[in-house]
């Protein structure tokens, strides 16, 4: 008999027939026999067996021996399990001692090793061994059982470890999901590594001697096979990992050829007994271990194992539901497909599972997707024509994915298969050398970019290729040469679309080189560059500056009439090292650039071109650099010309009768002049040109006459807005009180103009006025008071109630309005344009909603205004769900009570609307679609509170308070009694009941009793919502009587029936966790340190929030209540939280920004 895991395993060398008597006391043996025979009759006998099973360590301490390590130090002998816990320092010495002990008495040493495997499985019982002497197979199979004895509370496992039959006995409560290999923390991670290291050292030490004695490995393989066949997860996991390690060490240390037949038999026995029986285990970790070892075995000995009999297991498990299993399969296949000499054996496997592998780059797990993409790269390189053109086209598009590692892997696939010349010497241009090769690659890239039709995501494409094609992507000389080259009669010359795409590629490569981090949307944060990367970035910036300073003016001159190309090229100067102009004496090139930019501004009215030109002047007009004066003179000259043109047009406009402008050419010229000045006014202070009064006069004229073209109103409104912003910025620094008062009047006046335009007949004008008004209010209400507090006080402006109502009305009428879809017979091109228009319209609506939600988040308008937004949370989730969710998160962070009040107000308004649309005499129809939608909305609202019930305690309690009061509105009539018309609303707020802590449920129930007395005057069916709501509050409460047995009746508002709540409170505070109760928890729960830690944190949080609860929730603790000794049990708090976790959906709806999941 082998002692339980905690007992010392250093047993004295005895003969085989004396093993049992020397291992444990005879009493333990007798009791173990009694257990096996089912003879335990009394509780005392059962308890005695358990105590001996758990405490044999104490009885066997005297049998420990003293061992001397290699350095001469004397330490106390320990079990093999404790050696693994200690680490590698003593492992080699202990293994040597075990080998010597095995040579002296192999039975005792082998039993010691068997006990080690049982201990590593987390078994806290004992192992009994009996010699196998029966020759009848049926008798043996009857002993291979796994049973549970209900009387003793012990579980048994019998299995064969030739020449013994081992019986493992352990308490049932130890059959949990906690054992050493899956425990968390650095300590247990080291244990797993040490466990594998111990087995590796043991196999290495035995390889030259006892490993082939036909006794040791037979017993170990028999043991591992028996454990792998167990229903206990710990046994299966431990034996699989041990089999993997011993299997790998045996084949990795090069003694395969020395003992060919024996090693092959051992590996086959381990493989078939462990991996093939466990590759479909219910535990993902075990399946992953099997797949890893099968892949390793095939890669190491392909001559023996690279065949369809073994490959099929990897192919089948590519469909596994767990990503870690799929990942191990892909890694194993990568090792095979990376070797060309093995690929010819993979034909059948490839044809069978290729489609599955091609689909795996779209896997929901990012790492699996990346490794699948790398596997396909290897298959493409080493397997001829294995991937079809359709497969490749699908894989190419992954360069546009937002997950950068997958995009980079797809970029490698695209570069090596489509762009590079590796293995494709026939297409390498023989003329032009390196420049010619790069030009040819660029043309291929341009064709791919245009064919993919994802023209707005060129930055993603360049970022995906950057790590692989950085050489030719940084060849800006080649790129600009292609743009400056005269077409002539060259058949391979770029057409206009190709050149437009090339300008986008140039801008993207310049941005990637200068910034050194992925584009927006790809990666959570900016990349932290290393010293080497910073040096490369600096060199690239210098290279960009030196090249484009001389070339950019030529490009602008050639393409000055093409708005798309010019808009891209004008963004390049922002990545210049501007000091090169002065240090390199390149001022003449600066003059050329300024002339070309000025010419472009005069020619174009496209806003993208004008904004790029304005930003170019802004970048070059930095006062810190030497070229400032030169650029400032050019800018002033340009603005003088633009304002002169505008003045001339305005003079002619006002001189006409009544100021009407009907000439289309004049409107176009006015439109272009206003747009140019608006674009420059955004980045430059043009106050000295007095544009404000000129544009304001146009707006006032439109208010009075309503005859201006929308082309004039929009830029005039924008220009007026920018003029006032510059005045506010200047006034905040230094202005007299009189000037501030005058500016304040102008601010009010402009706000009234924007309010007027909210109802303009043109949709574009309404939307522009709304966006400007939202930004305007946000800026004025959040000014920096560091410089001039008086200015901030005078200019501060919060919207009036009427303005808030108009803004909210605009949101209702322009954002959440469903457009009727008309069935039309459209061509594919027309359908495509229609979808594009719908997408643009949706983007506009999202921008409008985001502008308004910012006013709510920053407390410019009342938080309760969000109730109108929240109504559409479920219905418009696909279009606006992320914006609404972020608004809810931010408002909750600002004020949890007000945020919760907005939620309950939203539900109340929906309920009232539903009641008004139905027959009020019969109440709300609980089966109607509108009521069902309300319940779903309430459920989704409850999910947003997350898992921390303590943090959301006040908010949820307030929702119940407001909901109860609303449900019983109108319950008192002229005759003193009437049925509450809103009683069905209790079903809505019952969706929040599971978010209440148990003590809060009692207090909410007590508050509900203030509205009910016995008996009920109406039928039970009418009061069914009240019954359901009470059930939701009293769920899992054993001390409360059944609600169905005694229903309360409503009463007037002031009636209080707090006596129904058994736990009475006082002082207006919620109960606090009792230290005595926390200390008296079940010992099994106390053994979990994490649970105890969480309980302590919850107790502190409960106590810290009591004061706040008194302020917000006085209803929970009426004055007449008295506090009893019963308090919140920490265990109740934790169990409540766990119950909430199980009932919640995916954390997609958990939006509390402060919570950690």
* pLDDT score of 684: 94
- pLDDT-derived band at 107 (thresholds 50, 70, 90) equals confident
Q: Is residue 170 a contact partner of residue 231, using CB atoms and an 8 Å limit?
A: no
Q: CB-based burial of residue 397 (10 Å sphere; 0-12 exposed, 13-18 middle, 19+ buried)?
A: middle
Q: What is the mean pLDDT of residues 6-10?
A: 34
- pLDDT-derived band at 1041 (thresholds 50, 70, 90) equals very low
Q: CB-based burial of residue 604 (10 Å sphere; 0-12 exposed, 13-18 middle, 19+ buried)?
A: buried
Which CA distances in Å does 376 have to 94, 356, 392, 412, 837?
Answer: 47, 11, 10, 11, 38
* pLDDT score of 1112: 41
Give the model confidence (pLDDT) of 840-894 as tens digits: 899 999 999 999 999 999 999 999 999 999 999 999 999 999 999 999 999 999 9
Three-state DSSP state, 128: strand
Three-state DSSP state, 84: helix
- pLDDT-derived band at 363 (thresholds 50, 70, 90) equals very high
Q: CB-based burial of residue 1031 (10 Å sphere; 0-12 exposed, 13-18 middle, 19+ buried)?
A: middle
Ranked by mean pLDDT, the top range of 9-18, 294-303, 486-495 is 294-303
- pLDDT-derived band at 280 (thresholds 50, 70, 90) equals confident
Query: Across-strand partners of 74?
Result: 68
Determine the Cα–Cα distance for residues 1139 and 1142; give it in Å rounded to an integer: 5
Which CA distances in Å does 260 have to 210, 752, 804, 1030?
Answer: 16, 94, 86, 75
User: Residue 969 — φ and ψ, nearest 5°?
Assistant: -65, 135
Three-state DSSP state, 935: helix
* pLDDT score of 441: 92
* pLDDT score of 253: 52
* pLDDT score of 1140: 42
Three-state DSSP state, 75: strand
* pLDDT score of 865: 92
Is the pLDDT reported for residue 971 higher than 80? no
In sequence order, what DSSP letters do the residues of 1092-1111 get, joined into one string? HHHHHHHHHHHHHTHHHHHH
Strand intervals (E) in 477-556: none
Q: Is residue 1040 a contact partner of residue 1009, using CB atoms and an 8 Å limit?
A: no
Give the model confidence (pLDDT) of 642-697 as tens digits: 999 999 999 888 887 555 556 788 889 999 999 999 999 999 999 999 999 999 99
Determine the Cα–Cα distance for residues 376 and 299; give it in Å rounded to an integer: 18
Is the pLDDT reported for residue 136 higher than 60? no
To the question of pTM greater than 0.85 for the whole model, the response is no
Average pLDDT, the chain: 76
Determine the Cα–Cα distance for residues 4 and 114; give it in Å rounded to an integer: 11
How big is the CA angle at 852 (ends 846 and 854), to the nearest 5 degrees?
Answer: 100
- pLDDT-derived band at 493 (thresholds 50, 70, 90) equals confident
- pLDDT-derived band at 79 (thresholds 50, 70, 90) equals confident
Q: What is the mean pLDDT of residues 788-807?
A: 76
Of 338, 254, 238, 233, the residue nearest 295 (C-alpha): 338
Of 396, 398, 416, the residue nearest 362 (C-alpha): 398
Is the pLDDT reported for residue 100 higher than 80? yes
Q: Tell me which of 610 and 29 has the higher pLDDT.
A: 610
User: Can you list the alpha helix ranges (DSSP code H) found in 690-762?
Assistant: 691-705, 710-733, 737-757
Three-state DSSP state, 798: coil
How big is the CA angle at 845 (ends 844 and 848), to the nearest 5 degrees?
Answer: 90
Determine the Cα–Cα distance for residues 72 and 686; give it in Å rounded to an integer: 87
* pLDDT score of 207: 67
Count of C-beta atoms within a 10 Å radius of residue 343: 19
Q: Tell me which of 251 and 463 has the higher pLDDT.
A: 463
510-519, 631-640, 1114-1123, range with the lowest pLDDT: 1114-1123
Determine the Cα–Cα distance for residues 941 and 929; give it in Å rounded to an integer: 18
Calculate the CA 101 to chain-centre distance.
54
Buried b (16+ CB within 10 A) or exposed e, 78-102: bbbbbbbbeeeebbbbbbebbeebb
Determine which helix (DSSP H) or strand (DSSP E) holds 129, and give its type and residue range: strand 126-131
Strand intervals (E) in 504-634: none
Query: Across-strand partners of 1128?
Result: 1073
Give the model confidence (pLDDT) of 1016-1029 as tens digits: 555 567 788 888 98
Q: Is residue 1061 a contact partner of residue 1003, using CB atoms and an 8 Å limit?
A: yes
Determine the Cα–Cα distance for residues 809 and 817; give it in Å rounded to an integer: 12
- pLDDT-derived band at 791 (thresholds 50, 70, 90) equals low
Q: Tell me which of 282 and 541 has the higher pLDDT.
A: 541
- pLDDT-derived band at 617 (thresholds 50, 70, 90) equals very high
Q: Tell me which of 549 and 270 has the higher pLDDT.
A: 549
| Six token digits for residue 920 | 């009020």
Is the pLDDT reported for residue 598 higher than 90? yes
- pLDDT-derived band at 1086 (thresholds 50, 70, 90) equals very low
* pLDDT score of 201: 79
β-strands 126-131, 74-76 pairing: unpaired
Is the pLDDT reported for residue 1013 higher than 70? no
Q: Is residue 1027 a contact partner of residue 1047, using CB atoms and an 8 Å limit?
A: yes
| Six token digits for residue 112 | 């010691």
107-111, 143-147, 473-477, range with the lowest pLDDT: 143-147
Rg of the chain taking only CA atoms, in angstroms: 40
User: Residue 633 — φ and ψ, nearest 5°?
Assistant: -65, -45
Q: What is the mean pLDDT of residues 343-371?
A: 94
């Amino acid at each position: 008999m082998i002692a339980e895991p905690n007992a010392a395993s250093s047993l004295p060398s005895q003969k085989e027939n004396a093993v049992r008597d020397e291992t444990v006391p005879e009493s333990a043996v007798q009791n173990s026999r009694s257990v096996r025979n089912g003879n335990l009759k009394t509780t005392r006998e059962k308890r005695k067996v358990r105590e001996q099973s758990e405490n044999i360590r104490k009885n066997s301490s005297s049998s420990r021996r003293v061992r001397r390590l290699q350095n001469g130090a004397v330490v106390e002998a320990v079990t093999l399990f404790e050696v693994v816990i200690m680490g590698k320092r003593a492992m080699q010495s202990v293994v040597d001692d075990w080998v010597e002990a095995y040579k002296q008495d192999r039975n005792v040493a082998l039993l010691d090793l068997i006990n080690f495997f049982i201990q590593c499985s987390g078994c806290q019982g004992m192992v009994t061994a009996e010699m196998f002497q029966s020759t009848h197979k049926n008798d043996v199979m009857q002993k291979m059982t796994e049973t549970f004895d209900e009387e003793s509370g012990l579980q048994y496992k019998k299995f064969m470890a030739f020449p013994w039959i081992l019986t493992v006995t352990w308490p049932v409560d130890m059959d949990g999901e906690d054992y050493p290999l899956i425990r968390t923390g650095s300590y247990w991670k080291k244990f797993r590594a040490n466990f594998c290291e111990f087995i590796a050292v043991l196999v290495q030490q035995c390889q030259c001697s006892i490993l082939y004695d036909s006794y040791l490995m037979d017993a170990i393989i028999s043991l591992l096979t028996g454990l792998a066949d167990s229903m206990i997860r710990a046994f299966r996991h431990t034996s699989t990992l041990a089999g993997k390690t011993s299997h790998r060490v045996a084949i990795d240390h090069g003694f395969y050829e020395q003992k060919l037949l024996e090693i092959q038999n051992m590996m086959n026995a381990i493989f078939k007994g462990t991996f093939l029986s466990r590759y479909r285990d219910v535990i993902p970790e075990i399946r992953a271990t099997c797949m890893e070892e099968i892949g390793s075995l095939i890669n190491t000995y392909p001559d023996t194992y690279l065949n369809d009999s073994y490959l099929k297991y990897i192919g089948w498990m590519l469909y596994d539901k767990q990503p870690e299993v799929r990942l191990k399969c892909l890694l194993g296949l990568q090792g095979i497909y990376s070797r060309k000499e093995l690929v010819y054996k993979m034909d059948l496997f490839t044809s069978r599972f290729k489609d599955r592998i091609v689909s795996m780059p779209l896997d929901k797990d990012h790492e699996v997707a990346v490794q699948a993409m790398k596997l396909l790269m290897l298959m493409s390189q080493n397997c001829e024509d294995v991937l079809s053109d359709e497969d490749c086209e699908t894989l190419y598009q992954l360069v546009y994915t937002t997950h950068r590692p997958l995009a980079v892997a797809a970029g490698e696939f695209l570069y090596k298969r489509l762009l590079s010349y590796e293995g494709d010497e026939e297409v390498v241009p023989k003329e032009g050398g390196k420049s010619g090769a790069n030009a040819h690659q660029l043309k291929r890239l341009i064709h791919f970019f245009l064919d993919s039709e994802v023209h707005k995501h060129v930055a993603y494409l360049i970022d995906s290729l950057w790590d692989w094609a950085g050489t030719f992507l940084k060849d800006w000389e080649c790129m600009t040469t292609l743009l400056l080259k005269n077409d002539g009669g060259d058949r391979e010359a770029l057409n206009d679309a190709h050149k437009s795409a090339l300008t986008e590629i140039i801008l993207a490569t310049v941005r990637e080189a200068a910034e050194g981090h992925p584009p927006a949307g790809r990666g959570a944060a900016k990349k932290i560059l290393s010293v080497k990367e910073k040096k490369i970035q600096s060199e690239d910036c210098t290279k960009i500056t030196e090249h484009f300073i001389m070339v950019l003016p030529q490009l602008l001159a050639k393409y000055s009439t093409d708005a798309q190309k010019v808009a891209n090229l004008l963004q390049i100067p922002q990545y210049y090292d501007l000091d090169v102009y002065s240090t390199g004496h390149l001022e003449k090139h600066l003059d050329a650039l300024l002339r070309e930019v000025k010419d472009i501004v005069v020619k174009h009215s496209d806003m993208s071109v004008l904004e790029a030109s304005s930003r170019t002047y802004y970048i070059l007009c930095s006062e810190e650099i030497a070229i400032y004066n030169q650029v400032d003179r050019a800018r002033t000259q340009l603005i003088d010309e633009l304002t002169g043109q505008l003045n001339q047009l305005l003079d002619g406009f006002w001189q006409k009768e009544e100021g009407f402008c009907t000439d289309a050419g004049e409107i176009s010229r006015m439109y272009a002049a206003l747009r140019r000045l608006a674009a420059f006014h955004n980045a430059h202070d043009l106050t000295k040109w007095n544009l404000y009064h000129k544009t304001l006069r146009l707006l006032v004229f439109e208010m009075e006459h309503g005859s201006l073209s929308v082309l004039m109103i929009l830029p005039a409104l924008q220009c007026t807005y920018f003029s006032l912003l510059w005045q506010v910025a200047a006034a905040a620094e230094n202005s007299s009180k009189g000037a501030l008062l005058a500016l304040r009047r102008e601010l009010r006046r402009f706000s009234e103009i924007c309010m007027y335009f909210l109802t303009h007949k043109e949709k574009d004008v309404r939307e522009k006025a709304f966006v400007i008004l939202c930004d305007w209010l946000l800026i004025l209400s959040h000014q920096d008071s560091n410089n001039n507090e008086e200015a901030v006080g005078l200019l501060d402006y919060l919207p009036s109630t009427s303005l808030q109502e108009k803004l909210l009305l605009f949101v209702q009428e322009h954002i959440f309005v469903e457009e009727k879809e008309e069935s039309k017979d459209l061509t594919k091109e027309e359908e495509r344009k229609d979808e594009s228009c719908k997408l643009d319209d949706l983007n506009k609506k999202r921008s409008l909603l985001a502008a308004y939600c910012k006013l709510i988040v920053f407390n410019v308008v009342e938080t309760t205004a969000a109730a109108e937004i929240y109504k559409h949370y479920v219905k418009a989730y696909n279009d606006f769900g992320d914006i609404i969710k972020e608004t809810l998160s931010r408002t909750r962070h600002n004020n949890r009570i007000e945020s919760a009040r907005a939620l309950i107000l939203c539900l109340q308004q929906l309920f009232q609307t539903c009641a008004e649309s139905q027959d009020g005499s019969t109440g709300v129809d609980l089966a109607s679609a509108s009521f069902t939608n309300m319940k779903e909305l309430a459920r989704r609202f409850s999910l947003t509170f997350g898992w921390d019930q303590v943090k959301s305690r006040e908010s949820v309690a307030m929702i119940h308070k407001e909901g109860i009061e609303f449900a019983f509105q109108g319950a008192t009539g002229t005759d003193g009694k009437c049925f509450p018309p809103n009683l069905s609303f209790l079903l809505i707020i019952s969706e929040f009941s599971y978010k209440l802590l148990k003590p809060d449920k009692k207090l909410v129930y007590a508050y509900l009793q203030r509205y009910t007395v016995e008996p009920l005057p109406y039928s039970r069916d009418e009061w069914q919502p009240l019954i359901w709501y009470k059930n939701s509050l009293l769920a899992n409460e054993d001390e409360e009587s059944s609600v169905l047995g005694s229903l309360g009746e409503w009463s007037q508002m002031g009636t209080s029936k707090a006596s129904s709540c058994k736990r009475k409170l006082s002082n207006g505070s919620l109960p606090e966790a009792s230290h005595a109760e926390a200390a008296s928890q079940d010992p099994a729960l106390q053994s979990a340190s994490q649970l105890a830690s969480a309980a302590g944190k919850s107790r502190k949080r409960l106590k810290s929030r009591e004061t706040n609860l008194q302020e917000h929730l006085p209803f929970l603790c009426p004055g007449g209540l008295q506090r009893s000794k019963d308090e919140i049990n920490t265990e109740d708090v934790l169990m409540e939280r766990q119950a909430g976790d199980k009932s919640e959906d995916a954390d997609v709806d958990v939006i509390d920004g402060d919570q950690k999941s």
